[in-house]
Amino acid sequence: MEWQGYLRSDGRKGIRNYILVVYLVECAHHVARSIAQQFREDTVQLIGFAGCYPNEYADRIMNALCTHPNVGGVLLVSLGCESFKRQRLEENIKATGRPVRTIVIQESGGTKKTIEEGIDWLQKILPDVAITPRVPMTVDELIVGTICGGSDATSGITANPAVGRTFNQLVERKAIVIFEETGEMIGLENIMSSRAISTGLAGELKASVEKAARYYTSMGHGSFAPGNADGGLTTIEEKSMGAYCKSGDSPISGLIKPGDRPIKSGLYLMDVVPDGDPKFGFPNINDNVEIAEMIASGCHTILFTTGRGSVVGSAISPVIKICANPQTYQRMSDDMDINAGTILTGTRTIDEVAEEIFQNILQVAAGKKTCSEELGHQEFILTYKTFTPIGPACLPA
């Protein structure tokens, strides 16, 4: 239960040591991608923000991602006329001791010259990032998130309950674990809020689900897709019961929003539904956005359960795929780390699969690549949202 992590200046420890190439507007995407592609065999990954003007949410998330414990260095790629506060972002990264450089396409002379400048800088700093100090790391220092995507009728029977029991183990060992998808807790708000460690938090948990119900009604499309129905789910309440199982049985210690980072061990619900009225450009539910938001809150790795099948991974933090349906696993085994469908066939129990997930987390933390990492998946989306700060009842003492 001990491995070597990457020590950062704030005392946090990472399980990966990536260098990020970050585009700060869609107009810089091609240049940033061209730079990153020259280092496909190295620990260089591409993320970015497509908008010309970042709101407070996007700015906050990007700052959190660029200083994540799995990140060892950052190259910022700017067109030059976008409104992203690139100087402040660079200063924040530099303050953590990470190597950082900003290149501006309009100042560097265009596409070719900027690509050459970016490649040259990465070649120089790769050896320095590679010698980041390694120190012992244990389970109580982990932050683990969970999400489900491509759910079917098997998800709530196999993979999700197994993840819930893995979460129980992690909480017992003083780790931080985060579950989300308040849009998939509709109908269960009273049951979930009864697990809160305080009366104030119980009210906040219930209100977050009620907000999700109003939001998705306004958007005209909730967290229930045609693929869910094809997979045997009948209602959002039925889907909610399956999704809720991922949280396990531990008391709920707090409610956070994207970018909030818990500092005490325990189980936390992440509210990813924007506050206020829906606005043009705000997203509907999206697995890749929510993965990025959980990573921004410090997650070292993400447990992704799926019944229908999903191939996505992520930049920055490895995604462990847990397949709920044995038939899906048979078709898509190259993309799946865990076959929870064995619960359905009677080959293994929920506890046995939960233990396999737990051991897989330790192995991935120690450096083992997940299937999505082996296949080169680095999905990433950062969108527009608006959030109000959490109140004192959300993280009770």
DSSP string of 347-377?
SS-HHHHHHHHHHHHHHHHTTPPPHHHHTT-
Do 205 and 396 contact (CB within 8 A), yes or no? no
Kind plus residue range of the DSSP H or E element containing 124: helix 111-130
Contacts of 389 (CB under 8 A, 6+ apart): 257
Contacts of 76 (CB under 8 A, 6+ apart): 22, 24, 86, 89, 90, 100, 101, 102, 103
Do 307 and 153 contact (CB within 8 A), yes or no? yes
Residue with tokens 């992520």: 314
The CATH classification number of 18-131 equals 3.40.50.2300
**Alpha carbons 19 and 201: distance in angstroms, whole number:** 38
How far is C-alpha 323 from the geometric centre of its chain's CA atoms?
18
CATH 3.40.50.2300 residue ranges for the chain: 18-131
Kind plus residue range of the DSSP H or E element containing 100: strand 100-104
Q: What is the pLDDT along the chain (397 residues), one digit of tens a residue?
A: 899 999 999 999 999 999 999 999 999 999 999 999 999 888 999 999 999 987 899 999 999 999 999 999 999 999 999 999 999 999 999 999 999 999 999 999 999 999 999 999 999 999 999 999 999 999 999 999 999 887 787 888 899 999 999 999 999 999 999 999 888 788 889 999 999 999 999 999 999 999 988 888 887 666 556 655 565 655 666 666 767 889 999 999 999 999 999 999 999 999 999 998 877 666 666 889 999 999 999 999 999 999 888 999 999 999 999 999 999 999 999 999 999 999 999 999 999 999 999 999 999 999 999 999 999 999 999 998 999 999 999 999 7
